[in-house]
């Protein structure tokens, strides 16, 4: 699969080296105008998304911003995408191909002004069925000059389970309503049979219908702003602005690749399970052949497609490569459809990252994260101090269902209400944030209020867990915990697929990995602790866990505490639980950056004061001796400088001796080019 767009700076010169006359001949406008137009494309997308978020009915859109929007050019430019909204990176790579495929399949000669085409087939447009693409072509003087597209997560799109998040679905037929390119609005007027088809297949029509109507008005806003741009600057400059935005993005990625030493880099990442069996690991392997300003990503060693919902289409594999490269080597330029112009991606047929129909792709982000983390493993070693530690690989999904005391059935896809958001990994620039979502999302954490209002649940605690961050000169964010109390009898089910090992090999540049995730359930029918509900202690080592039913994680078979040498637990079937059941989820930690013994002792002191690190953890992980009581007298804490100096000296000596007697292997090879020029 090639990711080139067909648009290229014709003479191969750097854009800044082009003379004014040469630039105008190439882009049909001056340099300033090209910059203004390319910026305006991004401005339009932000306005489109802001309007949609403001007026949407679904909390998935209004509160989580699970949407994206993009401008694409005309067929003469191969539907090139000069701008995409900075909402959810998980949609970046697939939108330009989605627009091209949808419009060409529907028929460019059939489209008229005011039409809106919708499509959600993952084999045509990527992601999963709930993420529906709404495409509004834009015409000027009867000519198709581009399109405005919104991709938005619909709260329910039919299928076997409400909301769709069920990993045991085996094919698209169980998954939901699959739409090829379908006319939703014709010349500005709704197509009634299409709306009837949607409403007959969703359980949540009162939310889905107004969301679609809001999407339509937001597309109208985007189309109007795009036409204003064209009318102000003219068609030649408008087309030149599209080409310039794409060429600029391609150039920054090409320059970043050139700074990377030539060579072959290899990495892999594994998924714990396919959701059907607790011992069916699946692997994603990447082999990167980098020469000059070009790179080839060969994923041929990856596992076959699963028989569950954990697969991703070729478009999402492309997105994964884009996200990994943007994070690692080209973080400062906007993403366009040309960002991967000089990158080729080879995908094995019928694999977990390129399945054939009718394999289900509902949990497509899991293979995407595997590709990203495999790329981090492959490249981070050569980036030196510019390495980026991977995030926590969040994504635990919890479902509960039952009947209220009044006899009314209820269903909860509680999401962030009872499952914690994970931390990010550290970099050379400093510590990472806690309580974020995965790097592929850039969503808002909606908090607990809505979940408690809609479901029979009380959130007892949302907090950070001490000593879970990946230690380093700069630490990762801390893992988070969420404790919940369920007020009625219910069945509980969870899905998470990366708790056996640290994502992406954990820390970088000498940093360490964070802790691993876990989940537990205390049922009053079997647990004395749950018979008198109380706030659970904020510790990962306690007798309370022996009373719990482990829901996920690698745990000690007797104590049920997290234990890297313990047994892997994965909940294959729902667990029935009594009223007043308590559930605890803890997410993964993330990776640290740099040698933890080089962390400023004062920063460690602050971490102890703020309860990111315990006094014991400060000595164990950072070689810093802190005295005092962080609970009763946090401002009275102090660093024992002499004891710290002695402890760190002994640790450094021990590490030096160990290193000199060990051998190491590397998963990547490269030329001897210095890594000091890699950073941007």
The answer to whether 90 and 441 are in contact (CB under 8 A) is: yes
Tell which of 226, 252, 278 closes a domain: 252
| End position of a domain, from candidates 252, 269, 302 | 252
Number of Cβ atoms within 10 Å of the Cβ of 71 = 32
Q: Is the pLDDT of residue 563 over 60?
A: yes
Place of tokens 């973080």: 331
Using one digit for the tens of pLDDT, what is the confidence trace for 618-630?
999 999 999 999 9
Look at residue 217 and tell me whether its pLDDT is greater than 50.
Answer: yes
| % of the chain at pLDDT higher than 70 | 92
Residues comprising the chain, all counted: 680
- Total tally of structural domains belonging to the chain: 3
The highest-confidence range among 219-228, 269-278, 413-422, by mean pLDDT, is 219-228
Do residue 483 and residue 606 come from a single domain?
A: no
Which residues touch 138 (CB under 8 Å, ≥6 apart)?
113, 144, 145, 146, 147, 148, 223, 226, 227
Mean of the pLDDT values across residues 470-494? Answer: 93
Q: Which two tokens stand for residue 583?
A: 């559930």
| Per-residue pLDDT tens over the stretch 350-363 | 999 999 999 999 99
pLDDT digits (tens, 9 = 90+) for 192-209: 999 999 999 999 999 999
Q: What is the model's pLDDT at position 442?
A: 74
Structure confidence at residue 675 (pLDDT): 34
Location of structure tokens 């401002």: 635
The answer to whether residue 475 sits within a structural domain is: yes
Q: Is 474 domain-assigned?
A: yes
State whether 171 and 65 are in the same domain.
yes
Give CA–CA dist 163/159, Å, rounded.
9
pLDDT of residue 4: 41
DSSP state for residue 548 in the 8-state scheme: S
Q: What is the pLDDT of residue 671?
A: 38
Mean pLDDT of 653-666: 52
Q: Is the pLDDT of residue 514 over 70?
A: yes
493 pLDDT above the threshold of 60? yes
Comparing C-alpha atoms, which of 227, 267, 66 is closest to residue 145?
A: 227
Together in a domain, 576 and 643: no
Instruction: Decide if 367 is inside a domain.
Output: no
- pLDDT beyond 60 at 335: yes
**Beta pairing class for 131-140 and 116-119:** antiparallel
243 in any annotated domain: yes
Residue 84 and residue 219 in one domain: yes
Q: Is pLDDT at 259 greater than 50 in this prediction?
A: yes
Do the beta carbons of residue 255 and residue 13 sit within 8 Å? no
The three-point CA angle 309-315-316 to 5° equals 50
Cα gap 505→418, rounded to integer Å: 27
Alpha-carbon gap, residue 573 to 442, rounded angstroms: 31
Question: Distance between CA 115 and CA 219 in Å, rounded?
Answer: 11
Examine the domain organization and report whether 528 and 610 are in the same domain. Answer: no
Indicate the average pLDDT of the chain: 90
Q: Which DSSP string do the residues of 119-161 spell out, in sequence order?
A: E--HHHH-S-TTEEEEEEEEEETTEEEEEEEEEEE-S---SSS
Q: Do residues 182 and 217 share a domain?
A: yes
The reply to whether 665 falls in a domain is yes
Q: Is residue 372 part of a domain?
A: no
**Token match 């709306």: residue?**
195
pLDDT of residue 664 exceeding 50, the answer is: no
Q: Which pair of structure tokens corresponds to residue 648?
A: 């760190």
Alpha helices in 623-661, H assignment, sequence order: 641-660
Of 252, 283, 303, the position where a domain reaches its end is 252
Residue 499 scores a pLDDT above 70: yes
Q: What is the pLDDT of residues 105-138, one digit of tens each?
A: 999 999 999 999 999 999 999 999 999 999 999 9
Give the start-end residues of each E strand in 385-456.
Answer: 397-403, 409-412
- Same domain (yes/no): 477, 515: yes
Is it the case that residue 488 has pLDDT exceeding 50? yes
Residue 573 inside a domain? The answer is yes
C-alpha 678: how far from chain center: 25
Q: Are residues 425 and 566 in the same domain?
A: yes
Calculate the CA 405 to chain-centre distance.
38
Q: Is the pLDDT of residue 81 over 70?
A: yes
Structure confidence at residue 157 (pLDDT)? 95
pLDDT at 320 over 70: yes
Q: Hey, is 298 helix, strand or coil?
A: strand
As a whole number of angstroms, the distance between CA 227 and CA 242 comes to 14
Backbone angles phi, psi at 507, to 5 degrees: -70, 165
- Contact between 140 and 236 under an 8 Å Cβ cutoff? The reply is no
Is there a single domain that holds both residue 67 and residue 216? yes
Give the pLDDT confidence score for residue 445 in this predicted structure. Answer: 60
List residues bridging with 32 in a β-sheet.
none
> Which of the two residues, 248 and 666, has the higher pLDDT score?
248
The domain in which residue 29 lies consists of 18-252
* Same domain, yes or no: 574 and 620: no
Work out the burial of residue 279: count CB atoms within 10 Å of its CB; fewer than 13 is exposed, 13-18 middle, 19 or more buried.
exposed
Q: Which of 592, 584, 637, 585 is nearest to 615 (CA)?
A: 637
pLDDT surpassing 90 at residue 561? yes
Strand order in the sheet with 409-412: 409-412, 397-403, 490-495, 575-577
3-class secondary structure, 630: coil
pLDDT at residue 121 in the model: 98
Residue range 2-18, pLDDT digits in tens: 344 444 455 567 999 99
User: What is the pLDDT averaged over residues 575-589?
Assistant: 94
Same domain, 521 and 613: no
Q: Is residue 272 part of a domain?
A: no
DSSP state of 202: -
pLDDT value of position 161: 84
* Tens digit of each residue's pLDDT (9 = 90 or more) over 363-385: 999 999 999 999 999 999 999 99
Separation CA 94–CA 128 (nearest Å): 11
Q: Mind listing the pLDDT tens digit for each residue in 389-435?
A: 999 987 788 888 888 888 888 877 656 678 888 899 999 999 999 88
Beta carbons of 428 and 507 less than 8 angstroms apart: no
* Tokens coding 383: 């980036």
Lowest-confidence pick of 64-73, 272-281, 295-304: 272-281
Q: Find out whether 382 and 586 touch, Cβ atoms under 8 Å.
A: no
The pLDDT value recorded for residue 450 is 61
Q: Please give the pLDDT value at position 418.
A: 84
Mean pLDDT on 437-453: 69
Regarding whether 138 and 47 lie in a shared domain, the answer is: yes
Give 60's pLDDT tier (boundaries 50, 70, 90): confident
**What pLDDT is recorded for position 237?**
98
């Amino acid at each position: 699969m090639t990711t080139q767009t067909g648009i290229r700076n014709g003479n191969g010169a750097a854009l800044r080296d082009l003379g004014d006359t040469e630039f105008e001949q190439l882009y049909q406008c001056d340099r300033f105008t090209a910059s203004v137009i390319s910026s305006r494309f991004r401005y339009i997308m932000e306005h489109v998304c802001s309007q949609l978020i403001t007026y949407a009915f679904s909390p998935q859109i209004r509160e989580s911003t699970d949407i994206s929007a993009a401008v694409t050019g005309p067929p003469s430019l191969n539907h090139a995408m000069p701008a995409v909204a900075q909402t959810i990176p998980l949609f970046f790579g697939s939108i330009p191909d989605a627009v091209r495929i949808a419009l060409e399949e529907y028929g460019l000669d059939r489209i008229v002004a005011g039409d809106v085409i919708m499509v959600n087939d993952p084999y045509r447009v990527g992601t999963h069925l709930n993420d529906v693409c709404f495409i509004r072509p834009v015409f000027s003087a009867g000519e198709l000059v581009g399109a405005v597209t919104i991709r938005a997560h619909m709260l329910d799109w039919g299928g076997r389970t409400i909301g769709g998040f069920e990993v045991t679905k085996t094919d698209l037929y169980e998954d939901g309503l699959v739409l090829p390119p379908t006319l939703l609005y014709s010349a500005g007027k709704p197509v009634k049979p299409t709306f009837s088809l949607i409403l007959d297949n969703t359980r949540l029509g009162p939310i889905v219908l107004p969301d679609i109507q809001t999407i339509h008005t937001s597309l109208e806003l985007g189309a109007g702003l795009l036409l204003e741009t064209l009318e102000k600057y003219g068609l030649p400059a408008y087309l030149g602005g599209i080409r310039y935005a794409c060429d600029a993005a391609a150039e920054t990625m090409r320059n970043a690749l050139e700074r990377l030493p030539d060579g072959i880099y290899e990495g892999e990442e594994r998924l714990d399970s396919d959701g059907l069996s607790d011992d069916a690991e699946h692997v994603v392997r990447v082999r990167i052949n980098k020469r000059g300003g070009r790179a080839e990503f060969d994923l041929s060693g990856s596992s076959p497609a699963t028989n569950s919902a954990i697969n991703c289409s070729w478009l999402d594999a492309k997105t994964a490569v884009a996200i990994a490269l943007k994070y690692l080597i080209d973080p400062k330029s906007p993403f366009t459809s040309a960002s991967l112009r000089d990158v080729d991606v080879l995908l094995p047929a019928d694999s977990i990252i390129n399945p054939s129909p009718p394999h289900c792709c509902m949990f497509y982000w899991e293979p995407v994260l595997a590709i990203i983390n495999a790329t981090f493993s492959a490249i981070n070693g050569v980036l030196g101090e510019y390495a980026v530690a991977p995030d926590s690989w969040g994504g635990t999904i919890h479902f509960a269902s039952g009947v209220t005391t009044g006899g009314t059935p209820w269903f909860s896809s509680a999401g962030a209400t009872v499952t914690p958001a994970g931390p990010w990994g550290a970099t050379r620039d400093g510590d990472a944030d806690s309580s974020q979502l995965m790097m592929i999302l850039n969503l808002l954490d909606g908090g607990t209020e809505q979940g408690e209002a809609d479901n029979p649940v009380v959130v007892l605690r949302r907090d950070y867990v001490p000593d879970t961050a990946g230690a380093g000169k700069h630490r990762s964010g801390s893992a988070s915990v969420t404790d919940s109390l369920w007020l009625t009898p219910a069945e509980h089910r969870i899905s998470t697929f990366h708790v056996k090992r640290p994502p992406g090999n954990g820390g970088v540049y000498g940093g360490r990995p964070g802790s691993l995730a876990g989940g537990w359930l205390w049922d009053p029918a079997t647990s004395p602790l749950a018979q008198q509900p109380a706030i659970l202690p904020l510790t990962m080592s306690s007798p309370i866990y022996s009373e719990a039913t482990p829901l996920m994680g690698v745990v000690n078979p007797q104590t049920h505490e997290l234990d890297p040498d313990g047994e892997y637990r994965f909940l294959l079937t729902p667990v029935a639980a009594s009223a007043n059941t308590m559930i605890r989820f803890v997410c993964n930690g993330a990776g640290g950056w740099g040698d933890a013994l080089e962390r400023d002792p004062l920063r460690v002191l602050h971490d102890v004061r703020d309860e990111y690190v315990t006094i014991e953890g400060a000595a164990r992980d950072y070689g810093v001796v802190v005295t005092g009581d962080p609970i009763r007298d946090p401002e009275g804490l102090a660093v024992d400088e002499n004891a710290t100096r002695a402890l760190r000296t002994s640790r450094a000596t021990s590490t030096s001796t160990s290193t000199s007697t060990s051998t190491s292997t590397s998963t990547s090879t490269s030329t001897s080019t210095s890594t000091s020029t890699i950073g941007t």
